[in-house]
Amino acid sequence: MVKKLASISKYLFLCLVLLFVYAPILILVVYSFVDTNTIGKWGEFTWEHYIYLFESEKIMPIVWQTALMALIVAVLSTILGTLGAIGIFYSKRKTSALLSGVSQIPVINAEIVTALSIAVMVSAIGFLSKETYLPLICGLMTLCTPFVVLSVIPKLKQMDNNLYEAALDLGATPTQALFKVVIPQILPGIFSGFLLSVTLSLDDYVITAYTKPSSFDTISTYLYSLNKGGATARIKAAFWALTAIIFLIIVIVVIVANIRAIKAKQES
């Protein structure tokens, strides 16, 4: 009896926390289909908010350019971080400790410090204009690349080092050995580093706001400025629809990834 009560209260606790975590998003999902511009006011079922969102000449371009920016940053961070991780892993102890130490700074630092320091540098040296998008790309890469390194290094540790030596003994050049032996072995780490970079740069507000060109906006910076300036009710409701779509995409990706992982496990 006591045991049963304990297990019930355990699940009750988990459910309460889940309720807290999901309530805001789910309420927006529900209201994105309701013919109203105020949450709490009930109305008829409608697609109106979605139609407004997709016809909006302001929001949709921002959605696409946010996605494009995240993709570019993630690809560059993944390349730089993978090479960096391999280099750090095979360097001498001192070099490797120094590099991974510096690499940790953007991870544990308050993001606003990273953002401000890059903004101050850009303003100090002058020739690197924010309008070139370079500060934005490099700023976000500063945030993402260390996470790629952190995802790849454990895979390098797991790898059998003899494979690389064997490839060299069998006549492969170091470059061939790298691309045909090392990279395939650490691919899962590279992949999770890439996805982490995509989510980090899609999510980012501070670094983006401090390094972006003045006319460029991402979902984060646009919504923040709307919130500060007082958005019209229609645009706010269009963002309910956008939240619902993004949430749906994430749920689908997570489910597909999990089914594939479970299948892969069953096969092996």
Q: What is the C-alpha to C-alpha distance for residues 66 and 209, in angstroms, rounded to an integer? A: 13
Told to check if 33 binds other proteins by CB under 8 A, we report: no
For residue 46, give every residue at least 6 positions away whose Cβ sits within 8 Å of its Cβ, in sequence order, or none. Answer: 33, 34, 35
Q: What is the C-alpha to C-alpha distance for residues 134 and 136, in angstroms, rounded to an integer? A: 5
Number of residues that bind other proteins (CB under 8 A): 98
Burial of residue 60, with CB atoms counted within 10 A of its CB: 0-12 exposed, 13-18 middle, 19 or more buried: middle
Among 1, 2, 5, 124, binds other proteins (CB under 8 A): 124
Told to check if 247 binds other proteins by CB under 8 A, we report: yes
Told to check if 181 binds other proteins by CB under 8 A, we report: no
User: What minimum distance in Å lies between the beta carbon of 47 and other proteins?
Assistant: 20
Q: CB neighbours (10 Å) of residue 7? A: 10
User: What minimum distance in Å lies between the beta carbon of 214 and other proteins?
Assistant: 12
Among 33, 65, 111, 172, binds other proteins (CB under 8 A): 111
Among 74, 147, 190, 217, binds other proteins (CB under 8 A): 147
Which positions from 36 through 55 interact with other proteins, judged by CB under 8 A?
39-40
Which positions from 186 through 245 interact with other proteins, judged by CB under 8 A?
191-193, 195-196, 199-200, 202-206, 210, 219-220, 223-224, 227-228, 236, 239-240, 242-243
Told to check if 8 binds other proteins by CB under 8 A, we report: no
Q: What is the C-alpha to C-alpha distance for residues 107 and 102, in angstroms, rounded to an integer? A: 10
48 versus 222: smaller Cβ distance to other proteins: 222
Which positions from 62 through 81 interact with other proteins, judged by CB under 8 A?
80-81
Contact at 8 Å (CB) between 169 and 182? no
Q: What is the C-alpha to C-alpha distance for residues 249 and 152, in angstroms, rounded to an integer? A: 26
Contact at 8 Å (CB) between 82 and 148? yes
Told to check if 97 binds other proteins by CB under 8 A, we report: no
Told to check if 259 binds other proteins by CB under 8 A, we report: no
Q: What are phi and psi of 34, to 5 degrees?
A: -110, 140
48 versus 70: smaller Cβ distance to other proteins: 70
User: What's the Cα-to-Cα distance from 60 to each of 65, 219, 255, rounded to whole Å?
Assistant: 9, 10, 26
Angle, alpha carbons 244-250-255 (nearest 5°)? 125
28 versus 50: smaller Cβ distance to other proteins: 28
Structure tokens at 111: 């993001």
Told to check if 131 binds other proteins by CB under 8 A, we report: no
48 versus 145: smaller Cβ distance to other proteins: 145
Told to check if 106 binds other proteins by CB under 8 A, we report: yes
